[in-house]
Amino acid sequence: MSGSPSAAPRTHAPVLEAASLVRDYGPVRAVDHVSFRLGAGEFLSVFGPNGAGKTSLLRLLAGGLRPTTGEVRVSGIPLTIGDRAARGRIGILSHLSFLYGRLTARENLLFHGRLHGLEDLDSRVPDRLRDVGLERYADSRVDTLSRGTVQRLAVARALLHDPEIVLLDEPYTGLDAYAGALLQELLSALKHGGRTVVMVTHNLGRGLELADRVAIQVRGRFVFEARRAELDAGGLERSYRRAVEEGA
Amino acid sequence: MTVYLRQVAAIVRKDLLLELRTRERLAAMGGLTVLVAILFHFAIDQGLVRMQQLAAGLLWMTILFGGMLGMGRTFEMEREHGAIQGLLASPIPLDGIYLAKVISNFVLVALIEVIALAAYWLFFGFDYGGDPLLLAGVLAVATLGVVAVTTLFSAISAQTTMGQTLLPILIFPLLVPVVIFGVTATGRIFASRPAQEVEGSLYLLAAFAVLSLAAGAILFRYVVEE
């Protein structure tokens, strides 16, 4: 991709670490003692049924939600709500776009670029728009764009600042086949550029394609974890069905 | 310009651009301001009541109610598409988000004050007397205090289902000092009294503004954090 992140060194030291993360909403436990460590260039796909706590997990990893117990560490340093600098190292794509409907695609990216203190926005913004195939929509207001187009723009926003850690919540939602393939290429480039990626998705095929590791989350807990090499698509589907049935 | 100030400027610019495109808040605040001027134009017998005696109260009523109307929706635009989460996920310090919202609200309320003063001049032929710089100073520091408190509480009310209904109940008691010293100082300026008679109120208003800003900057994080 143009303007793609420069390759980060691949190391075994954890870039992103979840240490026994728990998040309760009143009596409901959304995330239940989730732990993992990911190094540079590692890609974790998390699958799970609706309400499994996947989005809460991503928000905890992004530092947008305070864990009830446990902690998130970025390069070994605990991520606290007050630690704003660490946010510059994280890019998050939520099921919400974080975009302003009455601003154009370009204005939205410029705004987010300025929030990240980026200097080269004149070249970076067109590059990111090109990466997601939205050059011709640069001056269109977001509230005039289709859902899939907004999702592509949200991807551009999440990756604008070349984050070391990329957190994706159902990134394929609303995308047509072309846009889905474009996103797959982008994610592949991120992975090979040494970025650490956590992706939450219902799409077993897409999730497995790029993953180095997979996890299935049910009722907040990781009930199944495996390395990509240990699994094929059929095996993942069987494991997923079994995990969901046992958790139901 | 430091990164922090550029981040703050980015939010201010975005807020004002959105307001310029929609005019949602400005239309509501400006409409109320002009409506108050028209109503009082017909309600007051200017042969019996001197406008000089009413103007300060009228102006502050407009600032408070008009300001409430607009500032209560400060965080509405951030709820669309989860934009507030985008702000919180960015590296800008939380007090920077608060400061930016205070600045953009200050600009809006200052505009309303200009509209109010112009409307009183138009409808009542009001002579503002006094020192215009002193009037601008009093209005600026008092507005800063009002905006600092209201911005913080609009962030609180945005997270409740009661929303804007709750806002006046929460903030009017806190704004009593601004109302008392603001009306007093403005009334004295309109009456062309010496600047020394205004200084005391001006200092108290400035102290209130500084304390409110500091408290808002510290407390804002506890409001927006989950």
Over residues A182-212, the pLDDT tens digits come to 888 888 988 899 999 999 998 888 889 899 9
Report pLDDT for B74.
84
One-letter amino acid for residue A147 of the chain? R
- Out of A62, A65, A84, whose CB is closest to B92? A84
CB contact under 8 A, A100 and B80: yes
DSSP state of A99: -
Q: Mean pLDDT, to the nearest integer, of B35-61? A: 84
Q: How confident is the model at residue A245 (pLDDT cuts 50, 70, 90)?
A: confident
Q: Name the H helices within B72-195.
A: 76-79, 83-89, 94-124, 132-157, 166-171, 176-190
Q: Is residue A126 part of a domain?
A: no
Q: Residue B13: how many CB atoms within 10 A of its CB? A: 16
* Mean pLDDT, chain A, whole residue set: 89
- Out of A62, A82, A101, whose CB is closest to B221? A82
Q: Is the pLDDT of residue A224 over 80?
A: yes
CB contact under 8 A, B85 and A84: no
Q: Residue B33: how many CB atoms within 10 A of its CB? A: 26
The total of structural domains in chain A comes to 1
Residue of B nearest to A93 (CA): B86
From the list A29, A25, A28, A35, the residue with the least C-alpha distance to A70 is A35
Q: Is the pLDDT of residue A11 over 80?
A: no
Q: Is the pLDDT of residue A2 over 50?
A: no
DSSP state of B48: T
Q: Residue A206: how many CB atoms within 10 A of its CB? A: 18
Residue of B nearest to A64 (CA): B89
Q: Is residue A39 part of a domain?
A: yes
Report pLDDT for A248.
62
Which residues, 6 or more positions from A230, have their beta carbon under 8 angstroms from its beta carbon? none
Helix axes B176-190, B51-71, angle to 10 degrees: 140
Kindly report the CATH number assigned to the domain that includes residue A36: 3.40.50.300
Cα B39 from chain centre: 22
Contact between B108 and B173 (Cβ < 8 Å): no
Tokens of A179: 């846009």
CA distance B33 to B124: 14
- Burial letters for A224-246: b for 16+ Cβ neighbours within 10 Å, e otherwise? beeebeebeeeebeebbeebbee
pTM: 0.88
Q: Rounded to 5 degrees, what are φ and ψ at A148?
A: -65, -40
Q: Is the pLDDT of residue A1 over 60?
A: no
What is residue B6's three-state secondary structure?
Answer: helix
Tokens of A220: 């907040």
Q: Mean pLDDT, to the nearest integer, of B57-70? A: 88
CB contact under 8 A, B21 and A102: yes
Which residues, 6 or more positions from A215, have their beta carbon under 8 angstroms from its beta carbon? A36, A44, A45, A46, A47, A222, A224, A225
Report pLDDT for A40.
93
Residue to mutate among B24, B90, B101, B226, with most A CBs inside 10 A, is B90
Q: How confident is the model at residue B163 (pLDDT cuts 50, 70, 90)?
A: low
What is residue B128's three-state secondary structure?
Answer: coil
Share of chain B above pLDDT 70, in %: 98
Q: Is the pLDDT of residue A3 over 60?
A: no
Q: Is the pLDDT of residue B206 over 80?
A: yes
What is residue A200's three-state secondary structure?
Answer: strand
Report pLDDT for A85.
78
CB contact under 8 A, A64 and B89: yes
Q: Is the pLDDT of residue A6 over 50?
A: no
CA distance B45 to B51: 10
Q: Mean pLDDT, to the nearest integer, of B122-149? A: 89
CB contact under 8 A, A100 and B90: no
- The DSSP element (H or E) to which A21 belongs, if any, is strand A14-25
Q: How confident is the model at residue A5 (pLDDT cuts 50, 70, 90)?
A: very low
Angle, CA B133 vertex, CA B128 and CA B137 arms, to 5°: 105
User: Which carries the bigger pLDDT value, residue B156 or residue A5?
Assistant: B156
- The DSSP element (H or E) to which B75 belongs, if any, is none
Report pLDDT for A46.
96
The 10s digit of each residue's pLDDT in A40-68 is 999 999 999 988 999 999 999 998 888 99
From the list B31, B60, B53, the residue with the least C-alpha distance to B183 is B60
Q: Is the pLDDT of residue A39 over 60?
A: yes
Contact between A156 and A111 (Cβ < 8 Å): no
Shortest Cα–Cα distance, A82 to chain B (Å): 8
Q: Mean pLDDT, to the nearest integer, of B105-127? A: 88
Which chain B residues are closer than 8 Å to A101 by Cβ? 80-81
How many contacts (CB atoms, under 8 Å) link A and B? 82
Report pLDDT for B106.
96
Shortest Cα–Cα distance, B85 to chain A (Å): 7
Residue to mutate among B75, B87, B88, B101, with most A CBs inside 10 A, is B88
Q: Mean pLDDT, to the nearest integer, of B155-164? A: 77
Report pLDDT for B217.
95
- The DSSP element (H or E) to which B161 belongs, if any, is none
* Mean pLDDT, chain B, whole residue set: 89
Shortest Cα–Cα distance, A94 to chain B (Å): 9
CA A115, A120, A125, A131 torsion-angle sign = negative
Which chain B residues are closer than 8 Å to A96 by Cβ? 81-82, 85
Residue to mutate among A89, A95, A100, with most B CBs inside 10 A, is A100
- The ranges assigned to domains in chain B are 3-224
- Out of A66, A90, A101, whose CB is closest to B81? A101
Q: Is residue A234 part of a domain?
A: yes
Share of chain A above pLDDT 90, in %: 61
Which chain A residues are closer than 8 Å to B17 by Cβ? 103, 107
Report pLDDT for A17.
96
Residues of B with CB under 8 A from a CB of A: 3, 6-7, 9-11, 14, 17-18, 21-22, 77, 80-83, 85-94, 221, 225-226
Residues of A with CB under 8 A from a CB of B: 62-66, 81-82, 84-88, 90, 92, 94, 96-103, 107, 111-112, 114-117, 142, 150, 157
CA distance A139 to A67: 40
Q: Bridge-partner residues for A81, per DSSP? A: none
Contact between B26 and B111 (Cβ < 8 Å): yes
What is the signed CA dihedral for B33, B80, A98, B223, rounded to 10 degrees?
Answer: 70
Query: Tokens 């990240």, residue?
Result: A116
Which chain B residues are closer than 8 Å to A103 by Cβ? 14, 17-18
CA distance B69 to B56: 20
Q: Rounded to 5 degrees, what are φ and ψ at A100?
A: -100, 120
Q: Is residue A140 part of a domain?
A: no
Q: Is the pLDDT of residue A18 over 80?
A: yes
Task: State in Å, rounded, how far the first CA of chain B is from the last one.
Answer: 31
Q: Is residue A132 part of a domain?
A: no
The 10s digit of each residue's pLDDT in A67-116 is 999 999 999 889 886 677 788 899 999 888 999 999 999 999 999 999 99
- Out of B6, B83, B226, whose CB is closest to A66? B226
One-letter amino acid for residue B111 of the chain? L
The 10s digit of each residue's pLDDT in A141-187 is 999 999 889 999 999 999 999 999 999 999 988 888 888 888 888 88
CB contact under 8 A, A117 and B6: yes
Report pLDDT for B1.
62
Domain that holds residue A223: 14-96+162-247
User: Which carries the bigger pLDDT value, residue B72 or residue A199?
Assistant: A199
